[in-house]
Amino acid sequence: MKEGVRARRAPCLLRQLWIALAAHVYWFRVGGKNKENRSSSTPTCGSSTRRIVVRSTTGTKPGPRLCESIGPGQRASAIVVGGQPGRYAFKSVPLRFDERQPPLPEVDLGTVVSDGPPADIAAAEAVVRSQQVNEPLYADVVRSSPIAHRRTFAFSVSPDKSRFFINGEVFDENRTDVTIKLGDTEEWTILNQDSQYHDFHIHQTGFLVTEVNGTPTRFDGLRDTFSVPPMKNGAPGAAKLIIPFTDPEIVGRFVFHCHVVKHEDKGMMQVIELRQ
């Protein structure tokens, strides 16, 4: 397998059958170790926002797709049921990263080899279902928390692309951009006023994505990075987040920024101060 892609048989970790191809169970973890948004010809997993696809290369028809956008710094895990014994391509699918540029082409990420005795999928699923915890999901606790403040942050770029802004400002480590009280849960709207994806990333806490371009999402986990879609037809891309600033250990100054290194280095970063 190439960098950033691992697969192993993991029937006990089965949570959801995303793809039912045949008799083998695999656990896929895909992530961007490299935070650069490199050119499309760079065959590094997660080097830019991708869609990940698992497709049969031994059958006559393409297999179903696992659709998850993976931006710089993002990770995704999925359980899939593998195919008949054989070799399977693991690759990204073309993605228009920048509305003003042609789509990034498909990139080979690795090869999955399926062989050995079939896993007992029904038994694996039964084990997982028996492990359910009878407590509210933390994501649901966050989702239902009262919102102390609502804020909007617009991500934009100068015409010559030399400066990358959040709310019209470039990063200044001596400036505090946002002051927050410990214990508050806030709703942030991230607007992308540029033609390319920007990857919102915050230090010290996860966040829930509740809406993308006005459409509610029901992903039941917290993230630390999310690719905010680009501006289209004059309308900015938009992601709505709920962020719990509730952990006493994170009191102090920290940052949020675009996870594309070239963008954060050119100013797309701000300072939060979380106070007691």
* Interaction site with Cu ion (CB under 5 A): 198, 258, 260, 263
**Distance in Å, CB of 14 to Cu ion, minimum:** 35
245 with 205: CB under 8 angstroms?
yes
How far, in Å, CA of 86 to CA of 113, rounded? Answer: 6
**Distance in Å, CB of 241 to Cu ion, minimum:** 16
Nearer to Cu ion, 50 or 198 (CB): 198
Nearer to Cu ion, 88 or 226 (CB): 226
Nearer to Cu ion, 110 or 237 (CB): 237
Nearer to Cu ion, 161 or 275 (CB): 161
How far, in Å, CA of 163 to CA of 249, rounded? Answer: 33
**Distance in Å, CB of 258 to Cu ion, minimum:** 3
- 99 burial class (0-12, 13-18, 19+ CB within 10 angstroms)? middle
101 with 48: CB under 8 angstroms?
no
How far, in Å, CA of 219 to CA of 241, rounded? Answer: 12
**Distance in Å, CB of 166 to Cu ion, minimum:** 10
**Distance in Å, CB of 269 to Cu ion, minimum:** 10
Residue 215 to residues 195, 211, 212, 238, 267, Cα–Cα distance (Å): 20, 5, 5, 10, 29
Nearest Cα to Cα of residue 205 among 150, 274, 128: 274
How far, rounded to the nearest angstrom, does the alpha carbon of residue 40 sit from its chain's CA centroid?
A: 19
Nearer to Cu ion, 112 or 258 (CB): 258
